[in-house]
Structure 1
């Protein structure tokens, strides 16, 4: 099915077209979301919302860029919004916990129990540290870096998604790498 046929099928609310859309883009969309939200379950939830939005708002797709570019743009925006909402919820929960408003310790403190070897724990810790460092990047650097490193998008594809120039993307990714080195230097001495 060509991109044009796919878009027309989705516009006509054809289930087969929606299934083809999910089949073609699911892995990339989940990967993009994971790069921003840092949790596979949350990434799947956000991806589901993205596909629903694509299906419901396909008439907004102006065909100025490729369908994949439009989908990545939606994925980036939805992932960022999810991350912001989750941060707000966690902040409110911590305030409520501090002041004792209806949330008990069992709900906020999770006991960690694992039979995994130390290597797996170290790997998880490294991933967590990396995601925390990526979260500290300015938003435009974080988007460019995540799309490049987690989704293997070329600089030109990232420029299309972010609606900016190729030199701008090169600069953003370069600055992101420098900032990540600064953030991570203490962990890898």
Structure 2
């Protein structure tokens, strides 16, 4: 009995969950199971001329099991155990893309709000909040009194709080 393409499509739809479940039971990884299931049906399609026409379910299941066994034996799949020493070299210390976007947005928003302040508060706020310049360094660079800069920063914070509330509402 020769299976037509439309009949083969029906078989795929009928048995795809079964094949994925079988593959998952071997691999314990859904994505690998999907890949192997896809390979199973591709192999079945390529070897349709060898199918005797009696029990498609048993035939495709046997292909899936063989594919899973090949996958498990594959040297490319071999997992190496890492030591604690190894982990410190591969540790990801970078921010996620989401964190980068939020951080960039926050920095732009703070700079925008600081830029809306009138002098002398604008300079102190931009240097302190956006450029991470310490008040003591600002005092040395500008020659202004540290206490004066602290007062300006205090007032700038109060004004920024008001601007922030206006921006949010």
Name the TM-score class by shorter chain.
0.3 to 0.5
Q: Which has the higher contact order (CA 8 A, sep 6+)?
A: 1
| Higher Rg | 2
TM-score, normalised with respect to structure 1:
0.41
